[in-house]
Amino acid sequence: MEKIFWAFIVGGLICVIGQIMMDAFKLTPAHTMSTLVVAGAILGGLGLYEPLIKFAGAGATVPICSFGNSLLKGALVELEKNGPIGVLTGIFELTSAGISSAIIFGFLASLIFKPKG
């Protein structure tokens, strides 16, 4: 039960940070999302995101900043295995399922609903 509580608190705080970025700093949702992805990558590079995941579970893995952490983690693993070319291939190693799902479900949703734009 305690794990659920902390997942809710940490996930909620990440969402609050994103909402403050949009309301107070007048950032667009795209800028806010990009900033959170970069923040996740920076925290992952500093070794701070993994302890947050261990502490908060889904509260840290579900928000978009976890995507930045996954990109960095994949790039670093492949960098060690394959050198500099591994950075380019590694960013897709851990995240390809999420990227593919977003594209496929976005396409299916556009067939079912009327997209604007």
Decide if 36 is inside a domain: yes
What is d(CA 59, CA 4) in angstroms, rounded to the nearest whole number?
Answer: 8
* Structural domain span for residue 91: 1-112
Structure tokens at 28: 């667009």
Predicted structure pTM score: 0.82
- The DSSP result for 52-83, as a single string, is HHHHHTHHHHSSTHHHHHHHHHHHHHHHHHHT
What domain count does the chain have? 1
Decide if 99 is inside a domain: yes
How far apart, in Å, are the Cα atoms of 30 and each of 57, 68, 82?
25, 14, 32
- The count of C-alpha atoms lying within 13 angstroms of the C-alpha of 66, restricted to the half-sphere facing its C-beta, is 20
pLDDT tens digit at each of 117 positions of the chain: 899 999 999 999 999 999 999 999 999 999 999 999 999 999 999 999 999 999 999 999 999 999 999 999 999 999 999 999 988 888 888 888 888 999 999 999 999 998 776
Decide if 117 is inside a domain: no
Pair 73, 44: CB distance under 8 Å: yes
